[in-house]
Structure 1
Amino acid sequence: MSQTFSKIIPATAPIGVSCIDYVHPWTQSCLNATCGLYLYCIFDSFRVYSTVYLLTLLMKGRVPTKEDIKKTFYGILQSTAFLSGTGMGYSLFLCLLRKVLGNFNILTVSAIPAFLSSVFAILIERPSRRTLLALYVSNVATETLWNMARSRDMVGDIKYGNVAIFSISMAILSFYFKSGLHTNSDDCYSDPMFRVMRFVCGPYEQKGYTSIPDQPNSFHRETEYNRMSSSENSNWQTRKRKNVVLNLANQMLKIYNKFLNKIKSCDRHHACQHPFSCLYYTVEGTGRMFSLGLGLQVALKLVLNLPTIVKSPGTMKNILFRKQNLNLAMFLGFYNGIFRGCLCLLRRIRGTDSSLHAMLAGLIAGTAFVKYPDSTVSLYVLWKVAQITYNLGIEKGIVPNVPGFTEFLYCFSTAVLFHAAILEPTNLRPSYWKFLHSISGGRIACMARDPLDIWGLNTSDSLNTVLTQTKTIPILKNILV
């Protein structure tokens, strides 16, 4: 029936429903609804940002000073005021626009109130955090817009689309990393993304790295390693061994060291700045990132499943020994190995080093993302590259510096997300729906969707589907109603 109405009533047509019937059916007072949402947002925002800021403080790896604690406390209060202000403003502008216009339309039921509330809220947050927030919501909004277009049959699924986005983005980012292009800073790698690149790919590929002195040739290095190994063997042989397991472990260690030294003593091209051989450079990077990825994945699984493990320790085996736990490790290991291997191969072919090599290597290495095709990661890298490119364009005088562009991007993206959360929540990322449900105390699910079905978007059915999929329930957590 909604489809029939949608053909008769245009999407821009207003609907004559009151804010009591749509925005806050649980109370007759707009003021009570706004204050109730605001109070709950304050408590939940404080909980969220306390966790974030305290974890950030702990990750510094040192005993916090009095100034650190003071700065963290003020940061928690400021971010809490920002997020709770968004919730309060959203409810306030929903009712206010209804009273001013006398009705709701497809823009005023969510998008415009969300945009206006974001305009005021983002000004409360620290300027240093606005870019990070804009990148995050733009990431989610991009995926949401794509899902909305796909649900309307405007676009279709693209196989390996995430891999293509990631590969192209990493090709551009690798070029910036190798060529040393900076973003309005004396430090070429002040941007966090470049620090991540430096950690993953190693410092030897960045611009300005001082070349290592010419190393001894392969024969000399191999002789030196053999001499050291022989000395160690003689020391071990003078000791009396009674433990068979220890002897076996020692023999395996000697074989490993001999194999490692053999790889290290292979040839290194004169254009390469890394130590030891190109083969060792590639293998070492692959193993290091594979181990890191596996450790992160296992640690994350243990933390997320800690309550289950405590109740039933036998489930730990099933949680740890899963094929999916290798996905992140394989992605990081293959990416590092392919990236380094391609660079060394290109230097051998062309006889010189070039930032263009990094672009090609990043493009090819990005195909390793097929082992971990996460849309959140690919879209984040895409938006990060767009931000860095825009800053470079401003610095070079190619594009103008638009004041407030970051804030506008944040507000527009937030409007898209709130619009989808109300009218077509099935197109919203489930994790973001859970966030909105949590921060609003369930109010986002309690807002009446029946009056909105007239636009033919199957809003009520979409809400029921999301509630089932995310295991969220339309029960209001009252503070003040």
Structure 2
Amino acid sequence: MAALSKSVPHSCYEIGHTWHPRCAVAALHVSRSALAESLRIYGTLYLIAAILRKRKLDYYLYKLLPEILQSTSFLTANGTLYIVCFCILRKILGKFYIWSPGFGAALPASYMAILIERKSRRGLLTIYMANQATETLFRMAVARGTITPLRHGEVRLNLSKNLLLLSFRCKDGLKGFTYSALKFIVGKEEIPTHSFSPETLMDKVCKHGPRHRCCKHYGDNCISYCIKGFIRMFSIGYLIQCCLRIPSTFRHLFTKPSRLLSLFYNKENFQLGAFLGSFVSIYKGTSCFLRWVRNLDDELHALIAGCLAGISMMFYKSTTISMYLASKLVETIYFKGIEAGKVPYFPHADSIIYAISTSICFQAAVMEVQNLRPSYWKFLLRLTRGRFALMNRKALDVFGTEASKYFKDFTPKLDPRYTVVPPELPLELS
């Protein structure tokens, strides 16, 4: 409580937009950089998604651009409204408290911004930011010694996959993106409603061998079914990592041509491939084995197979994947509870959770960057063209969160004509 009552008298210029003393101009700078980055992100994302989903020409002509612009407006507004609320809150309070430059300013800004986005996307954004916020709170607790991290915690958290896969085996267990993603990874053969498809020559070759009558993989025996599943998902995981490394590799192609080899021969490429491949092959192999042993196809098999397949996380220990699956599990249980009439429905819950989650991340970005996920911090820097790193965090060290831990060498050059507290490095006026 003592920390909450502490305050610093600095102005919003001295703490936040140190690159320009005018609030409106600073907000315009952030808005301009956020707009450019948002267009790049959503333009690329929506175009690739449209190609992968094999959208028709009408979508490209009438829907693609409006969707890009709407999502761009949302992200741009989130960045712009944050700096606006940052300044307004300082003027209302007359000083900065530990919660006001981060959480306090981001909360109204994030809530207003998410209302601009399409309703169909708010759920995904909420899940993403809830994951970020949960991990951030976990890092904060570890840094303060409140909790001790478990060894291989990602693998243990991966147990949530089991319940998801159990729901996945049910006829209406999962819907939307999660259902489609699991269907893509595990294969449509594990869905009870899978229908028979025409055989090819390769199918006839693979068909010879042991296959239980309850198995739905009509074109393969159980052994080839597992092997093909491993090869398919290993290849996809390998290619995903290669694609992610292409931009950074080609930037240094002419200065360091040897980097081209690292694009294809990289440890992370094989780790993701091994994770996806082993997960699918273990899941499919266990499911087939249980059908042979029990002589029936049961939804319980998904729980056992998923539990064993969770070991695959040892190859690729990703907190992001584990947290996402855990969040989707909570979401699935919640909506199932609503359908059953056991849990009340809260209107705009996704928008509220998004706003709170984003505010937690912004609080960390301002007061303790060391506890924020590095990838999200880099995203904030890209969104603001590095301006988020220009905050005067040395003045915030009084709150005891080591705000300037990664910024010891940075001291903003402030114009003394617009400061409340004498600046450490006065600007030489011409």
Q: TM-score, normalised by structure 2?
A: 0.88
Deviation at 1:120, TM superposition (A): 0.9
> What is the CA–CA distance in structure 2 between the aligned matches of 1:267 and 1:212, rounded to whole Å?
19
What SS does the aligned partner of 2:96 have? coil
For 1:459, the aligned partner's letter is A
What's the offset of the Cα at 1:62? 5.7
Give yes or no for the alignment of 1:14 onto 2:7.
Answer: yes
Q: Which AA in structure 2 matches 1:207?
A: P
Task: Quote the sequence identity (%).
Answer: 34
Corresponding residue number in structure 2 for 1:479: none
1:344 aligned residue:
288
Q: Any conservation in 1 of the 2:157–2:323 contact (CA below 8 Å)?
A: yes
Letter in structure 1 aligned against 2:228? E
> Using a 3 Å threshold, how does the CA distance of structure 1 residues 284 and 88 change in structure 2: closer, same or farther?
closer
Q: Which amino acid is the alignment partner of residue 30 of structure 1?
A: C
Matching of residue 150 in structure 1 with residue 135 in structure 2: no
Q: Does 1:367 align with 2:359?
A: no
Give deviations 1:14-51, integer Å, cap 9, x for gaps.
32222222122333322332233223323332333222
- Mapping for residues 230-379 of structure 1, pairs under 5 Å: 261=205, 264-275=207-218, 276-379=220-323
Q: Give yes or no for contact 1:298–1:325 (8 Å, CA) kept in 2.
A: yes
Letter of the aligned partner of 1:180 in structure 2? K
Amino acid at match of 2:144: R
Letter in 2 for 1:192: F
**2 CA distance for matches of 1:82 and 1:318?**
37
2:77 counterpart of 1:85: yes
Pick from 78, 81, 94 the counterpart of residue 86 of structure 2: 94
Distance 1:171 1:136 in 2: 20
Letter paired with 1:96: I
Letter in 1 for 2:226: T
CA contact (8 A) 1:22 1:449 kept: yes
Instruction: State the Cα distance separating 1:475 from its structure 2 match.
Output: 11
Moved more, 421-430 or 452-461: 452-461
Q: What runs of 5+ residues in structure 2 fail to find an aligned partner?
A: 415-430
**Amino acid in structure 1 at the alignment position of 2:24:** L
Distance 1:31 1:337 in 2: 57
Equivalent residues of 1:86, 1:118 under 8 A apart:
yes
Give the secondary-structure state (helix, strand or coil) at the position aligned to 2:95: coil
Matched, 1:171 2:129: no
Structure 1 residues 291 and 98, CA gap change in structure 2 (3 angstroms) = closer
**How far, CA to CA, are the matches of 2:47 and 2:270 in structure 1?**
30
Does the C-alpha gap of structure 1 residues 38 and 299 become closer, same or farther in structure 2, counting only changes over 3 Å? closer
Structure 1 residue 430, shift from structure 2 partner? 1.2
Q: Structure 2 counterpart of 1:25, which letter? A: T
Instruction: Report the CA distance between 1:370 and its aligned residue.
Output: 0.7
**Paired residues of 1:426 and 1:463 also in contact (CA < 8 A):** no
Aligned pair 1:124/2:116, yes or no? Answer: yes
The structure-2 alpha-carbon separation of the partners of 1:39 and 1:305, relative to structure 1 and needing over 3 Å to count, comes to closer
Which TM-score applies when normalising by structure 1?
0.79
The 2-side partners of 1:194 and 1:464 are apart by 47
- 1:264 is displaced (CA, Å) by 3.9
CA drift of 1:352 comes to 1.3
1:74 to 66, 80, 94: 66
In structure 2, what is the Cα distance between the partners aligned to 1:162 and 1:364? 14
Describe the superposition over 1:431-471 as per-residue Cα deviations: whole angstroms up to 9, x where unpaired. 11111112122221111112211111111124459x9xxxx
Q: Kindly provide the CA deviation profile for residues 350-389 of structure 1, in whole angstroms up to 9, marking residues without a partner as x.
A: 2211101101101110111110111111111221222222
1:398 aligns with 2:390: no
CA contact (8 A) 2:241 2:268 kept: no
Q: Partner residue of 2:48?
A: 55
Per the alignment, residue 37 of structure 1 pairs with 30
C-alpha distance in structure 1 between counterparts of 2:148 and 2:208, whole Å: 52
C-alpha contact (below 8 Å) 1:442/1:475 kept by paired residues: no
Distance 1:296 1:463 in 2: 34
CA distance in 1, matches of 2:413, 2:364: 20
Question: Pairwise CA RMSD of aligned residues?
Answer: 2.8
Cα-to-partner distance string for 1:60-95 (whole Å, 9 max, x where unaligned): 446633x53332221222222211211221112122
Deviations 1:118-159 (A, max 9, x none): 111111111111111111111111111111111001122311
Deviation at 1:165, TM superposition (A): 1.1
Q: Which residue of 2 aligns with 1:220?
A: none
CA contact (8 A) 1:212 1:274 kept: no
Displacement, 1:391? Answer: 1.6
1:381 aligns with 2:325: yes
1:82, 1:291 → 2: CA distance? Answer: 35
Contact 1:169 1:382 in 2 (8 A): yes
Matched residue, 1:141: 133
Q: Which portions of structure 1, spanning 4 or more consecutive aligned residues, are displaced by more than 4 angstroms? A: 210-213, 473-476
Structure 2 residue identity aligned to 1:201: V
1:161 aligned to 140, 149, 153, which one?
153
Following superposition, the deviation at residue 211 of structure 1 comes to 7.3
Match for residue 179 of structure 2? 194
How far the C-alpha of 1:334 sits from its partner, in A, is 1.0
Native 8 Å contact 1:177 1:207 kept in 2: no
